[in-house]
Structure 1
Amino acid sequence: MKSIKQYILALAITPVMLAACNNNLDEIVYSDVTEQNYTYQSATAAMGIVYANMRDLFGHTTFYMVQETTSDELVMPANPSGWDDGGIYKRLHLHTWNSENPQLLNMWNALYRGVTNANRVISQLESGKVPATGGATKESLIAEMRAARAFFYWLICDNFGDAPLVTTTATDLPDKATRKQIYDFIVAELTEAMPNLSEQTGKEMYGRFNKWAAKALLANVYLNAEVYTGEAKWGDCLRECNDIIGSNKYSLEVDYRNVFITQNDNSPEIVFAVPFDEIHGGGFFVDMFSWHAALRDKRAMQTTPWGSGSAMGVSQFIDTYDPADKRLANTWLMGPQFAIDGVTPLKGSYDKAGQPLVFTKDLPDGLFTGESEGYRQNKFEIKVGARFDLSNDFPFFRYAQVLLMKAECMLRSGDAGGAALLVSDVRKRNFDDPAKATVTGASLLGNTRYKYGYVENYAMVDAGNTDPVQYGGLLDELGWEFAWEAQRRRDDIRFGVFAKKSWLSHKPQGGNRTVFMIPQSAVNSNPKLQ
């Protein structure tokens, strides 16, 4: 998207906090330009690096796929084109990851780079080194950076639990804070920053934390508060959702697919996006690790997806969809595949060499599949002539999520009828038959449609835990609406299935798997993290 350049202008290389490094802390200056003598022309340029750090979260070996492939929604199995990579993907599916899984280190580094840069920019704004420009006040800019820092800490709290809580530019090795302490910090930061945040929407604040994006963040924190602290905060979450709804700043797209098109920066549904641009702001390349190489000709792409791709839908998850739900075809690439002319069949190159490429739903297991098995990503548009990096902005918070967070709070607080009205409102754009779009409170309160169980050779051989999932109907709704949007792991944990249920080749590995261990290289560089 084109407007990315106005606020992601300042790109810098900063040390990776807590990553493996040597013990020589003396700074080596490779240029005459240092932090001490560099003069920022605008606050926007200085703040850009904090937002740019968010783009580091969306590769196949970091936050994005960690959220999806540890859940019951996606899997990344090996296949005849490769994709084993020492077992790093299958360990996420099996919940047998260890502290040396590269995905954990990549996620840790990306999140703490964001924290480190936010701390630096906040300090520079406070000292006046970075001037307030463009009509913004110093207080509003500091509040915005505090909200951005809270965003990174929310993901740290959610994924790692106990972790360092650093709010200054000091270089001392930090101690580990408890998950509750990090949660309390996030809530306090957002609450204190809120009055100074801009209420403006539109181009100038797009991809930045205005008041409504901060409220969406705070609502998410409250939504998962019981997981983080043991104390539910449904009323607090409901309040933040109501504030966003009452602002009348956002609305649902009439067409679901418009949220995910290449030029989606004008969507009225997006509350907070991580902006991407194929030239100026790369980092989003979901087609590279989900699509088959033959699909290059489907969109006349300028680059070739990797092998036969890997990231695909768990067949048990796909089976939960109503066939009349347009989100099925608008989320998953399935069936025969053709070149851009719509006529020429695309063909396989490995176990289906020379045969028409037809994506099938059912998987033998979660460890090894054929090249054409598994439904692939079809949610984010791959434009004709796509490069390696896509220009689709990632809708991290959107209005449909605000409505469904409100619905969940109402459901869990005893208002199933009110929750059903909200869920039906979100569903109706995806069904031609209005009756199909309408759900009841009883259906939301009832069990999930998901047929959990352990699969071998395409068949369920062990159902495992068969306890009904409380509010399972709403869990299904969240899955259909937000597949491929890095939410499923959180939802699985909150609804109690993450550590209890079996799916595909996954069997439960215990409640301690709801957080990830601190990467070993980070522990090696800071003994306080033991």
Structure 2
Amino acid sequence: MKKIKLFSLITLFSVSLSCTDDLNTEPKVELSLEQLLTQDPNAINGIMSKLYGSFALSGPNGPGSSDISDDPGESPFLRGIINLQDFTADGMKNRWGDDGLDQLTTASNWDENNKFFRYLYNRVYYTVPQCNNLLVVLNSVDVANKDQVIAEVRFLRSLAYYYMIDCFGKGVLVTEAENGISNPLPEASRTELFNFVENELIAAVENLPQTNTYGRANKYAASMLLSKLYMNAEVYTGSPRYTDALTYINKVINEGGYVLDDNITEVFSADNNTSSEIIFPLIADAIVSQSFGNTTYIVNGSMNSATMNTVSFGNPGGNDAWAGHRATKAWYGLFGNLATSTDDRADLFWTAGHTYEMTDYKEWTNGYPSTKFRNTNFHSISGTPTVFSSTDFPLYRLADAYLMYAECVVRGAAGGNISQAVDYVNDVRERSNATTITAGDLTLDFILDERGRELNLEGHRRSDLIRFGKFTGGSYLWPWKGNTLNGTSIPSTYNVFPIPLTALQANPNLTQNPGY
């Protein structure tokens, strides 16, 4: 089986907690974790699958269940990453008009009551306490490969905290040391959270294996996350750390054994579990791990049976094609004339019946749907199209590492060279039959554009635009930025999201981000 299945002990492990109360984290179980692992040390595999699943699934009993009190369809972690990282940025827009989602897609009128901010915040503070609970138990219970398991848990906790650092800029630092404390914890600054995650990941890299079961973290997944942290360090802490980022990117590239897939479509197809490029996936399966919040959200949300041949992308159509997401010219415009471009990535849009200009973001035929993610196999004929997606989400992959290397070099990091950077960028471009570049072409503006061509709809774009100084203000405009057709300036306060009202109410030590 290609997937990590939800473990069979879920019926014994039903968690009840309020995710906005950072201290209400004690699970209610028929057997405590300690008793469970003492009786059956092999149960650790199922428990770990539950932790990994918290980033893509909504709950333990299928797509209609939820680990938290929020909507099981809207609130899964990966769906939140796409909503907050891609729809708030330049390349993708959503047309549904849901309360709160309109404000994301137009980067306007953000406030503490927006449920989509709450969803991601709550997901962080669901995953973190589950990691803490397990770390406490592992202090007194022996399981196979214990040091590795602890390192994996620390990686997952760091991954959750990374989105707190990136999206909200501060929060509450809850670790296994705080278990049992009844008083509200103090607010932790962005730098404090950064330092904690940095130290956790450095330790995790040392104890993670070079290879691991598919869908579980190895040294290079942790190195990618640490590199992401360092890439954005100047935004997060005020001090650039590009040399440190390059150190860990080199580990990924030189030691990980990853190879670019021959065709970019391989990376985003239902059999992408065979990819030689994916470093760390969030897994999906149409049968055993159904969710409205994993890649089902991307695939189904980008389809409409009225204007598209949805079956060719692995979606049965009808009510299962949700007609929500379209790209804007800020994405497909990066390829020039789509009809004459030699770049294979320029073919990953549905243009028939759709307009180049998005004069109304709520009109389905305005803008081009992205066909980048699809629920069909690349290497074999797929069976009957399914409602739910089996395409794993490539959270980290080698093409991203290559482009990160190039950016670090251009920004002056020690330990790299421009010739190697050009080679890596050309490897990415040649894979898609794009024209090669020379050292003179490799500027920061080019790198940002290339990241858009290669990585849009993969949960990186908002962070990239902020790092390049292009997200807020008016120096770079895109369709519907600031809720105007041609885009307008938005305030610098939008570089972080507001702390949700429910979190402020749950912990009086939390303060709202400036400007909200």
TM-score strictly above 0.5: yes
Q: Identity, % of aligned pairs?
A: 27
Q: How does 1:419-498 map to 2 (within 5 A)?
A: 419-431=421-433, 436-445=434-443, 471-498=444-471
Structure 2's unaligned 5+ residue stretches are 58-74, 377-382, 482-487, 512-516
**Deviation, structure 1 residue 212:** 1.1
Q: Scaled by the length of structure 1, what TM-score is found?
A: 0.80
**Deviation, structure 1 residue 442:** 2.7
**Deviation, structure 1 residue 182:** 0.5
Q: Is the Cα–Cα contact under 8 Å of residues 302 and 321 in structure 2 kept in the other structure?
A: no
Q: How does 1:225-374 map to 2 (within 5 A)?
A: 225-283=233-291, 284=294, 285=296, 286-294=298-306, 295=308, 298-299=311-312, 301-302=315-316, 304-305=318-319, 309-322=323-336, 323-330=341-348, 332-335=349-352, 358-366=353-361, 368-369=362-363, 371-374=364-367
Q: What amino acid maps onto 2:304 in structure 1?
A: H
Answer yes or no: is 1:513 the counterpart of 2:494.
Answer: yes
In the alignment, the residues of structure 2 paired with residue 93 and residue 171 of structure 1 have an alpha-carbon distance, to the nearest angstrom, of: 41
Match of 2:380 in 1: none
Deviations 1:282-315 (A, max 9, x none): 2321233221143476347456356761211112
Match of 1:462 in 2: none
Deviations 1:129-169 (A, max 9, x none): xx413xx2x11211111111111111111111111111123
Answer yes or no: is 1:144 the counterpart of 2:145.
Answer: no
Q: Is the Cα–Cα contact under 8 Å of residues 305 and 317 in structure 2 kept in the other structure?
A: no
Cα 1:5/1:235, change in 2 over 3 Å? closer
Which is greater in Rg? 1
Answer yes or no: is 1:525 the counterpart of 2:494.
Answer: no
In the alignment, the residues of structure 2 paired with residue 377 and residue 58 of structure 1 have an alpha-carbon distance, to the nearest angstrom, of: 21
Answer yes or no: is 1:378 the counterpart of 2:371.
Answer: yes
Of 180, 186, 199, 1:170 maps to 180
In the alignment, the residues of structure 1 paired with residue 508 and residue 19 of structure 2 have an alpha-carbon distance, to the nearest angstrom, of: 10
Q: What amino acid maps onto 2:197 in structure 1?
A: I
Match of 1:19 in 2: 20
In the alignment, the residues of structure 2 paired with residue 17 and residue 262 of structure 1 have an alpha-carbon distance, to the nearest angstrom, of: 35
In the alignment, the residues of structure 2 paired with residue 296 and residue 505 of structure 1 have an alpha-carbon distance, to the nearest angstrom, of: 28
What secondary structure is seen at the aligned counterpart in 1 of 2:395?
strand
Of 117, 122, 135, 2:130 maps to 117
Q: Is the Cα–Cα contact under 8 Å of residues 402 and 421 in structure 2 kept in the other structure?
A: no
Of 88, 99, 113, 1:70 maps to 88
In the alignment, the residues of structure 2 paired with residue 481 and residue 297 of structure 1 have an alpha-carbon distance, to the nearest angstrom, of: 23
Q: What amino acid maps onto 1:492 in structure 2?
A: L
Q: How does 1:385-424 map to 2 (within 5 A)?
A: 385-413=384-412, 415-424=417-426
Cα 1:191/1:9, change in 2 over 3 Å? farther
In the alignment, the residues of structure 1 paired with residue 19 and residue 78 of structure 2 have an alpha-carbon distance, to the nearest angstrom, of: 22
Match of 1:465 in 2: none
Q: Is the Cα–Cα contact under 8 Å of residues 216 and 280 in structure 2 kept in the other structure?
A: yes
Cα 1:361/1:264, change in 2 over 3 Å? same
What secondary structure is seen at the aligned counterpart in 1 of 2:4?
helix
What secondary structure is seen at the aligned counterpart in 2 of 1:268?
coil
Q: What amino acid maps onto 1:170 in structure 2?
A: G
Q: Is the Cα–Cα contact under 8 Å of residues 258 and 398 in structure 2 kept in the other structure?
A: yes
Q: Scaled by the length of structure 2, what TM-score is found?
A: 0.82
Match of 2:169 in 1: 161
Q: What amino acid maps onto 2:430 in structure 1?
A: K
Q: Is the Cα–Cα contact under 8 Å of residues 80 and 119 in structure 2 kept in the other structure?
A: yes
What secondary structure is seen at the aligned counterpart in 2 of 1:396?
strand
Q: Which moved more, 1:110-119 or 1:291-300?
A: 291-300
Q: Is the Cα–Cα contact under 8 Å of residues 316 and 387 in structure 2 kept in the other structure?
A: yes
In the alignment, the residues of structure 2 paired with residue 59 and residue 150 of structure 1 have an alpha-carbon distance, to the nearest angstrom, of: 14
Cα 1:425/1:60, change in 2 over 3 Å? closer
Cα 1:143/1:504, change in 2 over 3 Å? same
Q: Is the Cα–Cα contact under 8 Å of residues 8 and 52 in structure 1 kept in the other structure?
A: no
Match of 1:341 in 2: none
In the alignment, the residues of structure 1 paired with residue 441 and residue 458 of structure 2 have an alpha-carbon distance, to the nearest angstrom, of: 24
Deviations 1:251-272 (A, max 9, x none): 1011111111101112110111
Q: Is the Cα–Cα contact under 8 Å of residues 114 and 149 in structure 1 kept in the other structure?
A: yes
Match of 2:4 in 1: 5
Of 118, 121, 130, 1:108 maps to 121
In the alignment, the residues of structure 2 paired with residue 477 and residue 327 of structure 1 have an alpha-carbon distance, to the nearest angstrom, of: 11
Deviations 1:466-497 (A, max 9, x none): xxxxx111100000000111111111111110
Structure 1's unaligned 5+ residue stretches are 78-82, 336-357, 446-470
Q: What amino acid maps onto 2:329 in structure 1?
A: S
Cα 1:497/1:46, change in 2 over 3 Å? same
